[in-house]
Amino acid sequence: MISRYTLAVALALASCSLGATTYTLESQHSMGTIRWAHLDFSNPTAQFNQIEGTLEFDPAAPAKSSVKVTIPLSHLTSGVPDLDEDLRSPRFFDLDKYPTATFTSTRVETTMMANQLKVTGDLSLRGVTKPVTLDVTINKVGTNPRMHLPAVGFEATATLKRSDFGMGKFVPQVSDEVTIHITSQADEAKGYAALMKAEADEAAVTTAKK
């Protein structure tokens, strides 16, 4: 156990320079919600998780940051089975044809607030790619105390029109505008990869001994 963490930390420190650091999004701690209005009486939500991606980030020059994210929509759920079936059908996300969504940043802008950014990028969803701007709040930049790796956490929100992505069914009874909120934690990429490999190797050895 000690050698595993030592290896991860050593790789992390070796890869972290004065410039940007590459981070891997922790899929266990990266998730989001979609919110819409139903007849203006309620605002239901659906959740998605297991987000994967990479982040280039330098706290000293955040405008030089970039992010690339993949969202596996098979995990999308509202908690209501009939609604989930509808969301996965060709009327909405059409998961059989389009199982993932992706976001690739094209521009990062700083704001008057030190911990807030505007991140513009291309969102690809249901076979359509459109520019979307995220309002991003940097929660924390520091060290993950469990993995002993450099880490960063953030919140991101955006409002978009679902009809822009071929999902205009039931507008205006069900709002065209939807709000997306994402929370994510990311760890230094090389150290995180080394740690995951060490854990996998350890699990394989344990299984082989049984």
Percent pLDDT > 70 in the chain is: 90
Averaged pLDDT for residues 146-165: 96
Asked if pLDDT for residue 176 goes beyond 90, the answer is: yes
Residue 77 has pLDDT above 60, yes or no: yes
Q: What is the mean pLDDT of the chain?
A: 90
Confidence of residue 201 (pLDDT cuts 50, 70, 90): confident
Asked which of 24-28, 98-102, 147-151, 201-205 is least confident by mean pLDDT, the reply is 201-205
Residue 150 CA: distances (Å) to CA of 17, 39, 117: 12, 45, 20
Q: Under a CB-based contact definition with an 8 Å cutoff, are residues 65 and 56 in contact?
A: yes
- Residue-wise pLDDT for 6-15, tens only, equals 444 444 444 4
Bridging pattern class, strands 177-188 and 149-161:
antiparallel
How far apart CA 179 and CA 164 sit, in angstroms, is 14
Q: Which residue, among 98, 53, 49, 96, has the nearest Cα to 76 in the 3D structure?
A: 49
Which range among 21-25, 58-62, 131-135 shows the weakest confidence by mean pLDDT? 58-62
pTM: predicted TM-score of the whole model, two decimal places: 0.87
Residue 33 has pLDDT above 60, yes or no: yes
Burial 107-127 (b: 16+ CB within 10 A, else e): ebeeeeeeebbebebebbbbe
Q: How confident is the model at residue 23 (pLDDT cuts 50, 70, 90)?
A: very high
- Domains, the chain, with CATH or none: 20-189 (2.40.128.110)
Each residue's pLDDT tens digit, 94-146: 999 999 999 999 999 999 998 999 999 999 999 999 999 999 999 999 999 99
- Residue 168, pLDDT > 80, answer yes
Question: Bigger pLDDT: 198 or 47?
Answer: 47
